[in-house]
Chain A
């Protein structure tokens, strides 16, 4: 799609989909308009805002195509184009109108696009993208809850069932249903401190009971 920019030629020919055949550095014919990017930049350096706007708008499709060769996501391509435009704005005084515009533009664009690629590679090395599997198993409906039938679990449930009612209720609300203290207080109608005390006692007696059951043959 693009002729590879060559440093040996004084100007290079670029073919962009939206700007048609464009000659960067020399004159460019696009329909009836004649565009000379080098001349536009020279005028922009002198503060001609119309020339600057024409240059930036003309350049954008070409930069987008340049970025699309290395980047895939449309958002990334647009970010890269904006990076290049910002850099060009910041270093526009480094352009010498007696030299071709193409190599200057392509060098800046490549530098910014490569920087973005490097950042992406660094991010990829420490981030994992969500795959289709992650998304499939995220909703509850996709997760099958098996009955817990292990012996330890049965012992624990028996131990909880044997607790006094207020302690059993505290453990059930705070530990099994994983409510916060406030929610549990609302649900049971008991005070937060009463729930704390009941939970503490329940865990103490559960520990004692489970230790006893594990010591038994």
Chain B
């Protein structure tokens, strides 16, 4: 076993200057700006849904989209703040009110619009397009967040991974509601909640491992965001 004094010698020998992290709020804004860029690129590629303006006048849709977007922003801020060891865990509560609003509006919309789904059902092509938006939005956001928060592997891996995933899920859901012109609310409900549950579940199971994997490769380098 290495003696503690030897370990200190080794650590001191490898103590190169490090760049301090920017304040968590600034870093959250950087990530959100990246998310905005991704959404803009998806808009260029897919175009907004045709009836977006019409739908935005419907209170349920407007509240649901706004709540999803707010959940994304607030949970991104919470993830960046709690990734620092000396910040309070109470920051986890920050996205909860908007999350509750988001989930309740989706549920309400589902109940009221259930009958209007229509007999034609869901077309396969529509689903594939929906899935493409989901992948195009969530994958780059996940990668960026995992790299930016890699040091959390040694601290609060689980909590940071869950909050970060909630941010990704909420922004992906916002993207889906902007681009996916399918009125089958049941499908949107499944997509929204399914996305959130899937990403959050994966994060809960593998968050520590994923962060650890990235951290072991990048933590010792000097390039910190």
Contact = CB atoms under 8 A, between A and B. Distances in A.
B16 interface: yes
Given A75-B1, A85-B11, A111-B156, A46 B84 contact: no
A18 to B, nearest CB: 13
A44 interface: yes
Contacts of A99: 86
Interface stretch (B17-25, B34-42, B92-100, B187-195): B17-25
Interface residues of A, number: 36
B220 interface: yes
A47 B4 contact: no
Nearest to B151: A91
Contacts of A82: 2, 4, 7
Interface of B: 1-2, 4, 7-8, 11-21, 23, 83-86, 88, 151, 154-156, 215, 219-220, 224
A7 B88 contact: yes
Contact of B155 (A7, A75, A108): A108
A39 to B, nearest CB: 14
A44, A47, A93: which has the most chain B beta carbons within 10 Å?
A93
Contacts of A89: 11, 14-15
A108 B153 CA distance: 12
B15, B16, B19, B151: which has the most chain A beta carbons within 10 Å?
B15
Q: Which 5 A-B pairs have the closest CB atoms?
A: A47-B17, A107-B85, A93-B18, A104-B86, A103-B86
B220 A81 contact: no
Interface string A82-94: 1001110111111
Contacts of A53: 8, 12
A46 B17 contact: yes
Contacts of B13: 49
